[in-house]
Structure 1
Amino acid sequence: MGTVQTGTPMADLTGLPALMQLADGRFPTGGHAHSGGFEAAAQREGINDLPAMEEFLIGRLRTTGLVAAAFTAAACQYFHQAMAADQGASLLDRLAPLGRELDARTPSPVLRTVSRRLGRQLIRTGRVVWPHQGLDRLASVPGQGVHQPVGLGAVAAAAGQPPAHAAVAAAQESIAGPATAAVRLLGLDPFAVNAVVARLGAEVVRVASEATGPADGPASALPASAGYLLDVSAEFHATWEVRLFAS
């Protein structure tokens, strides 16, 4: 009998389980409580069916998703470099510009707070799943903590992932959260919703590839694609007395 050719050596797949965990909505980072702006958009923009939801996901992926993926890849790259150079002594200094640049790209105070809250939860979870002295240093950051993309990039690095993989996880997360929210908010067919997410896989990879390009450069050179309606809607959403999601 001939040898079965699997095509890809198993050694090349060693990082896949970690990546799948980071992109999984069940990973305990608090993201399940957030709709990625979908709850507010559904009401303000009249999103009530599958095609409208798909347009929302595409728009979010190509704007805030691209920014999140780029900053996640950069944080992963900076984390690896800092730990290789001096075991983390300069880690906070390396990552600090990412936080400032993300603040500048997030006009909504509500979304800045949400991002740092999710980043703090990511670090907390990452320290349990992949114990690492670099994550311990980030957990000691005073105040509100690091932004979500910075936290995701750091946790990805602690899990042994390269920046390109971290960017894929961030890009996927940018649509997976709102898609899950759409099922709960609109009562859409979960099979149909997941079919949309699956069809967007090639676009997720394209966005992640674009995001990874400048990861080794200065934070100021990272993408600044904007989804300003998300910022406006976030401020509006925060005033609701009754809401299903925190954001």
Structure 2
Amino acid sequence: MNILHFVNAFFDDGSRWHGYDGIPVRTWEHVQYSLIALGVAAVIGLPVGLITGHTGRGGNVLALIATAARALPSFGLLVLMFIVLGLGLLPVMIPLVVLAVPPILVTTYEAMRSVDPSPVDAARGMGMREAEVLFRVELPVALPLILSGLRSAAIQIVSTATIAAYVSLGGLGRYIVDGLYQRDYEKVVGGATLVAVLALVTLGVFWALARATVSPGVRRSA
């Protein structure tokens, strides 16, 4: 049997679309885990990246933090958090947030530092406060690159959130983990396909978000 046969068999099975183990339920669980992790990571990474990028201070520290966080294995951290905290959502959220913060933090910092200093200096010369310079001058110009950092973090979270199944939670990883245990490769391939599709949907969402929020002038220059 080839992979396409497994995919067709998985999605053609009507029982896959109903009940607590159905595709809609597992997909929604996966989306929930991903949104929570991305939201927490954004709350941590965006303000720090904006402030340090605006002031130009702390870039070396951010690079060290990002390098250290990227070196942590997500599954190993999950196991450690499970041993320390037990069952629940928190042991899953910690490795996902640790995974997502570095791209958001570093990309936001670099986006702010890449803004042309001429309009920034002109805004200060006009008497704008630092907060106004940040949100009205620098942020609109830096937004495309900031969104790319959020997009990268979101894709990593969607792809890695399958680890939730290893600590008895749901999501699309449930198909992969249960399928491997049961030697049901139809379920394994189907679950992996759903994760890949969800990652592509995430790309589309961020493309639409960029089209809606980034001004045409900035988009053309970018």
Larger helix share, 1 or 2:
2
State the TM-score, normalizing by the size of structure 2: 0.37
- TM-score, normalization by structure 1: 0.34
Q: Determine which structure has more spread, i.e. the larger CA radius of gyration.
A: 2
